[in-house]
Structure 1
């Protein structure tokens, strides 16, 4: 953690605490109100909890401590992302199938749909940034020109001591310098900085959209590819012919195919198939157990159900029926 960020955090320490308590039940209630409902297991040490919070734009910046060592089991965050790094002590953060040991040099980015468990050691205090899901989706859409079709999911381990991590800390500190200015701060500048902060995260922290960001075209083919992808997603459940997609983006079929291969390392057909598989999986996860896989797959453009099942299992390591019965 850089001196620059530590200086910015001093502004958070000046905030009146949302709560300070030695009462385990009050601590559980207050943290649930600010974050989400969770199981909280007190371990060794004395309860000496406090939470400070400041909001700038739509982001919430927090300093949280429990005093005692704790085990926290919130399930999934559901509707927000969480950046978390200890200012004191260490913690073990289980995100999905990974466990990250966090300290002043290693943070974690927690995605909303991944199962989460946290173990904070005694005396640990953490700096957190709560990022609403729609806000990050909007920042992603500004980069891609289309709304993300699936949940953005980050690699959880975030290193603070490389160039990307240092730049991230500088941006956070710049925003925190305004937490004590309740009026007369440059609102549009802060809004732009908020967007820049989230786009920095999207562009530098590996995630399931990284390949689209880093294969972004640099020339006039960029707009044509955006139009092609937009047309595909607007007509995903219909018959999609390469000729129609090419016409929609004022391109030839050959140029369209070359653009997908050079810029996305994919073909239009493969891109369509992956987008349809994503749509099917999203619907299967939300459908009742009585739903019919065949009807859902057909609705999203899969006419050969044997190939569909093979592609689905190759992508998600389970059958469509197994997804439906989750």
Structure 2
């Protein structure tokens, strides 16, 4: 743990505690309010609990101690990610089928859908960063140009004594340093600090989207676009995911999106929609007057018929029914 982070934590120690208690019941109640419902088993040592918390943007930075050794069983977190690292002492964190022995040099990144169990040794105190799922998804979407379709899931063990870990600590320290002034600072600037922190986590900590962030382009944008368009038109009526299109042209989602924007000035999603609208129009122009428009639209991949009708009229200045009656 760097002196940078310790300096930043000084600002968190200056926060008035959310609670301080030697009562097990109070401790359980207060931590449930801030985090989530959990089973809390007290082991050796005296209860001397405290929680301090500050918020910067949508992130919550907390210092938590129990005093006594504890076993905590919250199950899956569901609504948020949790980064935690001991400031003093050690803990054993079971995330899914992996166990991380955490200390000042090794942190844990806990993904929302994985079962979780924690064992804190006596006198352990930890820094926790609570990251709402929508905030991380938004940061991911800005990198990929699309919202992630699957839950982002991290490798839980996070090393703090390499270059990525050092840079991560510097960013946390910077955010904590500004916490006391956040009401006087531009909101967009604080949002950018948050985005940088979360994108650093996404890019440097292995996760199920890492291949899209680190993929090395293997072909020109022109060839990539040609292969992508061919795949789209061959599967136009199917559930087209950008991950599948990118894989078909040996590309990352980001490179695929760049190729569409650079050469066609539209996103892949817009291209798919326009291709589907053109396919529907071609079929309606050749169809019998008794044809059900909803069946044609559904066959070409439109599942929300209200949006389909609006997109169709915007593209062709007439409704699908007017096209059918021509």
Answer with 1 or 2: which has the greater Rg: 2
TM-score by length of 1: 0.70
State the secondary structure of the residue aligned to 1:169: helix
Match of residue 106 from structure 1: 106
Match of residue 66 from structure 1: 66
State the secondary structure of the residue aligned to 1:93: strand
1:236-285 Cα offsets, whole Å, 9 max, x none, are 893379xxx9xx9xxxxxxx889722558xxxxxxxxxxxxxxxxxxxxx
State the secondary structure of the residue aligned to 2:178: coil
Contact 1:141 1:147 in 2 (8 A): yes
TM-score by length of 2: 0.70
| Cα distance in 2 between the residues matched to 1:192 and 1:81 | 19
State the secondary structure of the residue aligned to 2:146: coil
| Cα distance in 1 between the residues matched to 2:46 and 2:31 | 17
Seen in structure 2, the aligned counterparts of structure 1 residues 5 and 260 have a Cα distance that, compared at 3 Å, is: same
Match of residue 238 from structure 1: 237
Contact 2:228 2:248 in 1 (8 A): no
1:199-237 Cα offsets, whole Å, 9 max, x none, are 000000000000011116499739x76x959x96xx989
Q: Does 1:260 align with 2:241?
A: no
Match of residue 165 from structure 1: 165
CA-atom RMSD in angstroms: 3.1
Contact 1:52 1:62 in 2 (8 A): yes
Question: How many equivalent pairs are there?
Answer: 250
Seen in structure 2, the aligned counterparts of structure 1 residues 130 and 240 have a Cα distance that, compared at 3 Å, is: closer
Q: Does 1:205 align with 2:205?
A: yes
Contact 2:211 2:252 in 1 (8 A): no
State the secondary structure of the residue aligned to 1:109: strand
Deviant stretches of 4+, over 3 Å: 216-220, 235-241, 256-259
Match of residue 24 from structure 1: 24
Match of residue 253 from structure 1: none
1:169-227 Cα offsets, whole Å, 9 max, x none, are 000100000122253123222110100100000000000000011116499739x76x9
Q: Does 1:136 align with 2:141?
A: no
